[in-house]
Copies of this chain bind each other. A is one copy, B any other.
Amino acid sequence: VAVGLNPPAQLLPVVGVRLAATAAAIRYQGRLDVALIELAPGSRIAAQFTRNAFRAAPVVIARRHLAARASRYLLINAGNANAGTGVNGIEDCLAACTALAAKTGCQPDEVLPFSTGVIGERLPVDRLVRALPAALSELAPDAWLRAAEAIMTTDTVVKDASRVVTIADQRVSITGIAKGAGMTRPDMATMLAFIATDARVPQAMLDAALRIAVDASFNCITVDGDTSTNDACVLIATGHSGVDIDTDAARAQFQSSLNETANELAQAIVRDGEGASKFITVVVTGAATVDEARRVAFTVAHSPLVKTAFFASDPNWGRILAAVGRADVEDLAIEGVEIFLDDVCVARSGAVAQEYTEAAGRRVMGQSEIVVGVDMHRGACSFRVWTSDLSYEYVRINAEYRS
């Protein structure tokens, strides 16, 4: 069902990272639902968390632990978000970290917790803790795919990306996994992404690299405009390849590969979006400012009218033009805006383009992947958003989820 997604790739091990996945019956029976990631001493971590003011307990604790000291373990569960659980949720989360610390000899604040699943229910800490010995005994460098499976909730496919980068004739690996099938639904919260490299990256550079990669990927996708209480994206650099990212050229190469990895994971979330039957790229060009381009792109991408038109394969350029018109762009003369579906110009001068034919529009709209181009002809700035269509299936998933 996911739009244009390939089967899982070969996921390269990252020297210094071991993973395990196990079934703890947090909510689901008979499937992997706990992932454990162990980091070699000296690993550096950067992380970005949800901007939603309603933060789940694990987000509160992970931020606190990250600020306290270098992390040794990431403990992730699916099936329960531990969000909307108040003070109890914080205590449950800390109990899980403490239990893992006791079993491994590290400190509780060397554990970063992550949760995804239903909101408003207590985390079954006992079941989570009982699963830890099995997870610890199975830690292995090649368990990325099993970990990707364990963090799924209503995802229909695993999300993964992996590549080798040659930097100054030396090879480093970048491997990542993600989950998320809406951006996102707060009761089956969340977008989570974990990316690791064995390159050696200074902390400030690692923080900046993640911010850049996330801004151009996970922050440019939308399924339904809802951000979650648990969203997190983590970037780990173990340094165990011995390859230093210490020149401008190396940094550029590393950033480029990291961006590609993040883009692949972010696209996978949209391609597996709730009820998605189309993968839509909205590209706004010719804007006076990036902020203006961003606003137009998201207004088009969020419009239920535009999204249902894509679901119906209807080349309804009027809906796109109307979305551009209400994006609150100062002094916008709509006559200057051109709208494209792939290479077909559909609207110009506030009306249908002279050369446009309904047949050409229908041809593009029949595709499973479509680029909507909005050329504003008033500047040199641009922005790109990936999104999906709005289908019956989206309503069904979100209306029937709790029953």
Contact = CB atoms under 8 A, between A and B. Distances in A.
A187 B312 contact: no
A389 to B, nearest CB: 9
Nearest to A356: B120
Interface string A218-247: 000000111111000000000000000000
Contacts of A83: 318
Given A84-B347, A224-B305, A53 B120 contact: no
A385 B182 CA distance: 26
Contact of A325 (B53, B88, B225): B53
Nearest to A323: B226
Contacts of A51: 326
Contacts of A87: 349, 351
A304 B304 contact: yes
Interface string A198-217: 00000000000000000000
A303 interface: yes
Given A51-B326, A228-B322, A325-B53, A84 B317 contact: yes
B350 A54 contact: yes
Interface stretch (A32-40, A257-265, A391-399): A391-399
Contact of A224 (B304, B321, B334, B398): B304
A103 B186 CA distance: 61
User: How many protomers of this protein does the assembly include?
Assistant: 2
A55 B228 contact: no
B52 A186 contact: no
A147 B302 CA distance: 35
A197 to B, nearest CB: 31
A108 interface: no
A185 interface: yes
A316 B395 contact: no
Interface in A168-182: 182
Interface string A345-359: 001011110000000
Most B CB within 10 A of own CB, among A187, A224, A326: A326
Contacts of A304: 224-226, 304, 390, 394, 398
Interface in A265-304: 302-304
Contact of A316 (B187, B308, B309, B322): B187
A20 interface: no
Contacts of A395: 308, 311, 390-392, 394-395
A52 B392 contact: no
A351 B88 contact: yes
**What 5 A-B pairs are tightest by C-beta distance, nearest first?**
A54-B325, A86-B351, A119-B318, A186-B322, A312-B399
Given A84-B352, A227-B322, A392-B396, 18 more contacts: A51-B326, A52-B326, A53-B325, A53-B334, A54-B322, A84-B347, A185-B319, A187-B319, A226-B303, A226-B322, A227-B326, A304-B304, A304-B390, A304-B398, A311-B395, A312-B398, A392-B395, A395-B395
8 contacts: A53-B326, A54-B325, A224-B303, A225-B303, A228-B322, A311-B395, A314-B402, A395-B395
